[in-house]
């Protein structure tokens, strides 16, 4: 189970080269406990819990620590009534496969999160979101193991501090490993169709009264047309988060940049489109050596082949600096750095 000096390039969607000193593939939760007790693990300073590697940036050529690769599988219906189902899903299940499974059954809640790469166990870490829906609204429980003690803890959503691409698990990075997520889905879905191009796509598909399957198909079409395929062009999705600013900062920005794309976040804050900021700082479709900001979505930093972490970080710094100089906004990384 435990391997030494393992190449992580196949395990991160950026496609960056990095060698892990220790690597263990976890196929069953019980595989975890002997590892956690081993002196090798306990003495190791660095830890990477790896899912599908679609939201990480490996910043060094070698990772002098331990990689725990969650590859557990299993989907179990644990409760059902006339209106809802509860489904327990192992952390290593592929998120897209789980969405497809629910969509096929007609269960609603996560259809807008179709075609997001990664694993089920990682979904609550940044509270994945897309097309006006966040995964937190379909989660009933998160089962995790505390790595220092081996104790199992069940988190209820109210304890998870879920926010915009945020959760308590980001704060407590490396302390808990998610082993299973319990979802509550509905048999009578209320669909979220008002976001972006969903309605246009459904019209194009000639669908009037869509099912969860048709919504999932529409979103998958939109995404495939707009986002880079990481098997061809390495990337980790949105490189930065959309910044949230105060209403007064928003007012000032709007005065100087009337085309600014922004949305109310709460009574006193606005969410600014980071893609718009990057595009208007001149970076959309621009390359810097082996890397660049994607031509169809400026928020996605892409690897044109053979990029190093240094290439990625240097582009990230250039973009961040230009956005700060032009708009007075500090972009924050969405991708997790190791």
Q: Which stretch binds ligand FAD (CB under 6 A): 44-52, 241-249, 252-260, 267-275?
A: 44-52
Residues involved in catalysis: 165, 238, 334
The only residue of 67, 70, 110, 319 in contact with ligand FAD, by rule CB under 6 A: 70
Closest approach, Cβ 238 to ligand NAP, in A, equals 4
157 binds, among ligand FAD, ligand NAP, none (CB under 5 to 8 A by kind): none
The only residue of 89, 160, 177, 277 in contact with ligand FAD, by rule CB under 6 A: 177
Q: Which stretch binds ligand NAP (CB under 6 A): 66-74, 124-132, 183-191, 312-320?
A: 124-132
Q: Which stretch binds ligand NAP (CB under 6 A): 123-131, 154-162, 178-186, 303-311?
A: 123-131
Interaction of residue 114 with ligand NAP, rule CB under 6 A: no
6 binds, among ligand NAP, ligand FAD, none (CB under 5 to 8 A by kind): none
User: Secondary structure of the chain in the HEC alphabet?
Assistant: CEEEEEECHHHCCCCCCCEEEEEEEECCHHHHHHHHHCHHHHHCCCEEEECCCCCEECCCCEEEEEEEEECCCCEEEEEECCCEEEEEEECCCEHHHHHHHHHHHCCECCHHHCCCCCECCCCCCCCCEECCEEHHHHEEEEEEEECCCCCEEEECHHHCCCECCECHHHHCCCCEEEEEEEEEEECCCCCCCCCCCHHHHHHHCCCCCCCHHHHHHHHHHHHHHHCCCCCCCEEEEECECCCEEEHHHHHHHHHHCCCCCEEEEECCEEEECHHHHHHHCCCCCCEECCEEECCCCCCEEEECCCCCHHHHHHHHHHHHHHHHHHHCCCCCECCEEC
Q: In the structure encoding, which two tokens stand for residue 150, read together?
A: 């081996």
CA distance 184 to 196: 26
The residues, ordered by sequence, that sit 6+ positions from 130 with a Cβ below 8 Å of its Cβ are 112, 113, 116, 219
178 binds, among ligand FAD, ligand NAP, none (CB under 5 to 8 A by kind): ligand FAD
Interaction of residue 242 with ligand NAP, rule CB under 6 A: yes
Quick one: 35 or 301, whose CB is closer to ligand NAP?
301
Interaction of residue 227 with ligand NAP, rule CB under 6 A: yes
Residues 115-154 that bind ligand FAD (CB under 6 A): 116-119, 121-123, 125-126, 128-130
Closest approach, Cβ 40 to ligand NAP, in A, equals 34
Quick one: 321 or 337, whose CB is closer to ligand FAD?
337
User: CB of 130 within 8 A of CB of 95?
Assistant: no
Interaction of residue 53 with ligand FAD, rule CB under 6 A: yes
Closest approach, Cβ 23 to ligand NAP, in A, equals 25
Closest approach, Cβ 83 to ligand NAP, in A, equals 27
Q: In the structure encoding, which two tokens stand for residue 72, read together?
A: 């557990």
Quick one: 253 or 274, whose CB is closer to ligand FAD?
274
Residues 126-155 that bind ligand NAP (CB under 6 A): 129-132
Binding residues vs ligand FAD (CB under 6 A): 13, 48-56, 70, 91, 116-119, 121-123, 125-126, 128-130, 169, 177-178, 227, 230, 235-237, 336
């Amino acid at each position: 189970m435990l391997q030494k000096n393992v190449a992580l390039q196949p395990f991160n969607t950026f496609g960056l080269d990095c060698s892990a000193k220790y690597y263990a593939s976890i196929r069953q939760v019980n595989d975890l406990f002997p590892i956690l007790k081993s002196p090798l693990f306990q003495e190791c300073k660095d830890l990477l819990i790896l899912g599908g590697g679609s939201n990480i940036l490996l910043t060094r050529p070698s990772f002098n620590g331990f990689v725990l690769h969650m590859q557990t599988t299993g989907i179990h219906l644990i409760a059902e009534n006339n209106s809802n189902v509860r489904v327990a899903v192992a952390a290593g299940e592929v998120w897209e496969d789980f969405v497809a499974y629910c969509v096929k059954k007609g269960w609603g809640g996560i259809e807008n999160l179709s075609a997001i790469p990664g694993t089920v166990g990682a979904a609550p870490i940044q509270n994945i979101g897309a097309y006006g829906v966040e995964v937190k609204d379909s989660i009933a429980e998160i089962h995790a193991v505390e790595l220092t003690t081996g104790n199992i803890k069940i988190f209820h959503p109210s304890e998870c501090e879920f926010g915009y691409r945020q959760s308590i698990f980001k704060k407590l990075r490396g302390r808990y490993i998610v082993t299973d997520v319990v979802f509550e889905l509905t048999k009578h879905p209320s669909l979220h169709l008002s976001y972006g191009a969903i309605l246009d796509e459904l019209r194009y598909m000639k669908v009037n009264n869509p099912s969860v399957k048709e919504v999932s198909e529409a979103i998958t079409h939109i995404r495939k047309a707009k986002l880079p395929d990481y098997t061809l062009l390495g990337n980790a999705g949105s490189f930065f988060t959309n910044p949230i600013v105060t209403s007064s900062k928003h007012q000032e920005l709007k005065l100087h940049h009337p085309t600014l794309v922004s949305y109310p976040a709460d009574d006193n804050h606005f969410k600014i489109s980071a893609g718009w900021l990057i595009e208007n700082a001149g970076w959309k479709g621009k390359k810097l050596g082996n890397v660049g900001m994607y031509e169809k979505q400026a928020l996605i930093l892409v690897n044109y082949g053979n990029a190093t972490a240094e290439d990625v970080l240097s582009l990230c710094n250039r973009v961040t600096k230009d956005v700060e100089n032009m708009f007075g906004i500090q972009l924050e990384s969405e991708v997790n750095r190791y």
